Structure 1
Amino acid sequence: MSLAKHDRTPGPGAPAPETAPARTAPATTGPATPALLWLITAGLVLAALNLRPAISALAPLLEEVRADLGMSGTVAGLLTSVPALCFAVFGVTAPALSRRYGPVAVVAAGMAAVTAGLTLRSLAGGTGVFLASSALALAGIAVANVLMPVIVKRYFPDRIGSMTGLYSMALSLGAAGAGAVTVPLASALGDSWRLGIGLWAVPGALAVTAWLAVLIRSRATRTAAAPADATPAAPAAPAAPDTARLTLRRSPTAWALACFFGLQATAAYIIMGWLPQIYRDAGISAGTAGVLFAVAMGLSVPLSFVVPPLATRMRTQGPLLTVLALSGLAGYTGLWLAPHGGAWAWAVLLGIANCAFPVALAMIGLRARSSHGVVRLSAFAQSTGYLISLPGPLVVGVLNEATGDWHLPLAFMAALMVLQIVAGTLAGRDRHIEDGA
């Protein structure tokens, strides 16, 4: 697939027209050459592969981790909510970091944090260190989560759907792969959960290398493009008042997208945190539960390359999001009625429902007209959305512990999915956050 430009929209590497404040990040790119674009594409894929193993590799081994570290049920339930908390707290810092250092440098640092956190977590001797090192890895994931749509908008403004689909596919592959192979890896390495989850630091190191290469290559391209006798640029005009944050707080579009993002994230993290346990409690072995979990996460690998481009071609995304949510409701119903007998079918239906996430990412690029708007909207929608999703996994754990089965938790999950349909319909309208600003 060629990355060259063939239509009238701004070429890759060229920022979309915008009226952003003058206080922007130091330039990290010159003209985006084809080689640089391919390198950025590889970086996006490698980074996306590392955005979920910190979570999905833990779920199938949670019982073993709890036993070894002496975790209580409450702490284990809290552990399923930590990702959303970290994404909300650290994700909101991404715009400021991006303005100060540039999105490429921040993503590189985020991947370094993921690698360090996963390494330290595998060495943890107690619950406190385990939680702290998990938070470090999740902080790195948080800033990368926010800046992925920004990098796509900046370098591939005419290919938002396909590029979002590409890195969403890689993200799903990372989540599914970690869920499927972590238990066999741990068994092959002497039944060591530490090695099973620690090996996921290796892909993180590869992502760090790729983004450092992007940073070095982009700066070299910028230097080569600068005229030898260039004179200092004239002083920039005074920055326009920064009203982006105020606009977002007043924007129904931004709030609808944030609520939708939060509800789909709630569903995703409940599945990532509890689906293997639901299957294990139904009498399914840990290994098979891990494979079923991988099916639920992995089905979105091929679908993520199809669904976001489809969403970008639709004038409104509400109907598509409704279909995805109905698939989730059918999966929950199956887990209620026959969790063992129809286990594979329910995993497939939940995998289809998980495609709401790449559609949400694509809509971030669609609901803003400028790259400046995208970085603001991405931080707002994701940080607010992850705050909304915080109680979900913990509530599911508390309900399960209180009732001793999964019926009430599944009813709770179904109610949230109905709300997701409403929020998705509102967020999917053909609107922009700049409208009326």
Structure 2
Amino acid sequence: MPDDETRTLHSKPTPLGPLSDAAAPGPSPWLLRLVMAGLVLAALNLRPAITSLGALLEEVRDGLGMSGSVAGVLTSVPPLCFALFGVMAPRLARRFGAGAVVCAGMVAIAAGLAIRPFVGGTAGFLAASALALMGIAVSNILMPVIVKRWFPDRVGTMTGLYSMALATGTALAAALTVPMTNALGGSWKTGLALWAVLAAVAVVPWIALVRDRGTAPGQPTARQQKDAPVLRITRSRTGWALASFFGLQATAAYITMGWMPQIFRDAGVPAFTAGLLLAVTMAMGVPLAFVIPRVASRMRNQGPIAVFLSACGLIGYAGLYLAPAAGAWAWALLLGVANCAFPLALTMIGMRSRTGAGVVRLSAFAQSTGYLISIPGPLLVGVLYQHSGGWGLPIALMAALLVPQMIAGVLAGRDRTIEDEC
């Protein structure tokens, strides 16, 4: 078992070459610290747009006059936007530089969150949400790419750091949205708009990185591009397995973020406590999102981790079905562990390719395809909930989806790279 971060980073050079000229001097320490700060602040803003809405979904539904099916559409918007806009990230990074793209993404998040509660009507709310989610989508794709470029010898550590920040932002939005809303007069519009402030702060470090326009992150030089073979990820079984794993874990995550507070509220749990339960679920990702990538990067096969996480989810859903209120805190903890499939997926994206160029393609393919896979899940949960009048069928669906997720995780975790398969 290797004792360094990610074994694939020490593989033999490939025709695509390194991320930068081997003879070029390394980046200065202050620049690395700036990139690190930018990664953390960006990651903090990649989920509050979603979990803040989940905490106030009932109030938003009442305020905008939504049915359960329309609310299901609303919870399906994030993965749809991530799939549609995520595929643009590599091309935008090549043309403008990753720093400029992420900076623009943070601006879009801030703008979307600031205006969506006040535009009026469901259509305007969806359009403003899509603006924020567009910024999240391109940043989602570029996070592993930026880590691979700036910290090639610390992929596990840096993936864990920004995954932990992402989980922190997710949990904070779930825990604080309701009390902040109550403290500011009880308007759900104010409670949702407040998260635009955090996104505005995240713009600052990326402004200094806008001019980072050399070779795009993970991209070979022009000569290397000319000499490199074409990498067709659609021919890679590992690429498809990773996309499937990413899509199924995203399905579970967005169902949890969008509907779990409502499940607890329908079981008689107060709104404030339901928000705290979602926060506990998301907060489990804070320590585990740092630990799992470090452990996974030292293992030849990450399949056992995927099996363990899915098993925790199955137990959590069983408890949510049988005793949602009585064992609420235990189920929230178990589902929080299961949701840590996300940092595992990000780590495997960095490990299943030997080069930065491969990571760019694999990240875009796995995340965009994965988010397409995840679109029907939250919508179907809303439809089943409305037409069955309860949570039995939706919870059964959530549990059933963990079985193919477990299988895909085992296949994606095998010790191989997309370059070998393509």
> Is TM-score (shorter-chain normalized) higher than 0.5?
yes
SS in 2 for 1:41: helix
**Match of residue 410, structure 1, among 390, 395, 404:** 395
SS in 2 for 1:58: helix
Change beyond 3 A, Cα 1:359–1:237: closer
The normalised TM-score by structure 2 is: 0.92
Mapped pair 1:206 → 2:201: yes
Question: Which residue in 1 is equivalent to 2:406?
Answer: 421
Q: Which runs of 5+ in 2 are unaligned?
A: 215-220
Dislocated runs of 4+, deviation >3 Å: 7-10, 16-22, 234-238
Contact 2:319–2:327 (CA under 8 A) maintained in structure 1: yes
Mapped pair 1:360 → 2:360: no
**2 CA distance for matches of 1:84 and 1:240?**
36
Shift of 1:204: 0.6
Paired amino acid for 1:45:
V
Question: Which residue in 2 is equivalent to 1:91?
Answer: 86
SS in 2 for 1:243: coil
**Match of residue 311, structure 2, among 326, 330, 353:** 326
Contact 1:108–1:208 (CA under 8 A) maintained in structure 2: yes
SS in 1 for 2:417: coil
Mapped pair 1:372 → 2:351: no
Contact 1:21–1:239 (CA under 8 A) maintained in structure 2: no
Shift of 1:70: 1.7
Shift of 1:241: 6.8
**2 CA distance for matches of 1:352 and 1:199?**
28
The normalised TM-score by structure 1 is: 0.89
Shift of 1:21: 9.6
**Match of residue 118, structure 2, among 100, 112, 123:** 123
Shift of 1:74: 1.9
Paired amino acid for 2:282:
M
**1 CA distance for matches of 2:394 and 2:71?**
16
**2 CA distance for matches of 1:199 and 1:156?**
33
Question: Which residue in 1 is equivalent to 2:249?
Answer: 264
Mapped pair 1:157 → 2:144: no
Paired amino acid for 1:19:
P
Contact 1:161–1:309 (CA under 8 A) maintained in structure 2: yes
**Match of residue 19, structure 1, among 12, 15, 20:** 15
**2 CA distance for matches of 1:417 and 1:235?**
43
Shift of 1:400: 1.1
Shift of 1:165: 0.4
Contact 2:17–2:355 (CA under 8 A) maintained in structure 1: no
Shift of 1:73: 2.2
**Match of residue 308, structure 1, among 293, 302, 308:** 293
**Match of residue 132, structure 2, among 126, 134, 137:** 137
Mapped pair 1:388 → 2:383: no
Change beyond 3 A, Cα 1:30–1:128: farther
**2 CA distance for matches of 1:149 and 1:243?**
21
**1 CA distance for matches of 2:306 and 2:85?**
27
**1 CA distance for matches of 2:389 and 2:369?**
32
Give the 5 Å matches for 1:198-347. Answer: 198-215=193-210, 236=223, 239-240=226-227, 243-244=230-231, 247-347=232-332
**1 CA distance for matches of 2:255 and 2:402?**
12
**1 CA distance for matches of 2:237 and 2:295?**
24
SS in 1 for 2:144: helix
Deviations 1:388-414 (A, max 9, x none): 000001111111111111111111111
**2 CA distance for matches of 1:353 and 1:122?**
31
**2 CA distance for matches of 1:381 and 1:235?**
25
Change beyond 3 A, Cα 1:109–1:242: farther
**2 CA distance for matches of 1:9 and 1:79?**
38
Paired amino acid for 1:62:
L
Paired amino acid for 1:239:
K
**2 CA distance for matches of 1:19 and 1:404?**
58
Contact 1:116–1:137 (CA under 8 A) maintained in structure 2: yes
Deviations 1:250-306 (A, max 9, x none): 110100000000000001011001100000000001000000000001111011111
Larger deviation, residues 145-154 vs 58-67: 58-67
Shift of 1:213: 2.1
Contact 1:114–1:138 (CA under 8 A) maintained in structure 2: yes
Change beyond 3 A, Cα 1:379–1:114: same
Change beyond 3 A, Cα 1:17–1:186: farther
Shift of 1:19: 3.4
**1 CA distance for matches of 2:89 and 2:183?**
39
Question: Which residue in 1 is equivalent to 2:68?
Answer: 73
The number of aligned residues is 409
Change beyond 3 A, Cα 1:153–1:238: closer
Mapped pair 1:182 → 2:177: yes
Deviations 1:299-327 (A, max 9, x none): 11011111110011110000011001100
Identity fraction in percent: 62
Contact 2:235–2:421 (CA under 8 A) maintained in structure 1: no
Change beyond 3 A, Cα 1:196–1:385: same
Pairwise CA RMSD of aligned residues? Answer: 2.5
**1 CA distance for matches of 2:75 and 2:90?**
26
Deviations 1:98-157 (A, max 9, x none): 111111111111111111111111222111110000000000000000000000000111
Contact 1:18–1:371 (CA under 8 A) maintained in structure 2: no
Contact 2:281–2:332 (CA under 8 A) maintained in structure 1: yes
Deviations 1:5-50 (A, max 9, x none): xx9999x9xxx9553499x99xxx9741111001100000000000
Shift of 1:367: 0.3
Question: Which residue in 1 is equivalent to 2:217?
Answer: none
**1 CA distance for matches of 2:229 and 2:89?**
16
Paired amino acid for 1:58:
L
Contact 1:54–1:137 (CA under 8 A) maintained in structure 2: yes
Shift of 1:417: 0.3
Contact 1:21–1:240 (CA under 8 A) maintained in structure 2: no
Question: Which residue in 2 is equivalent to 1:230?
Answer: none
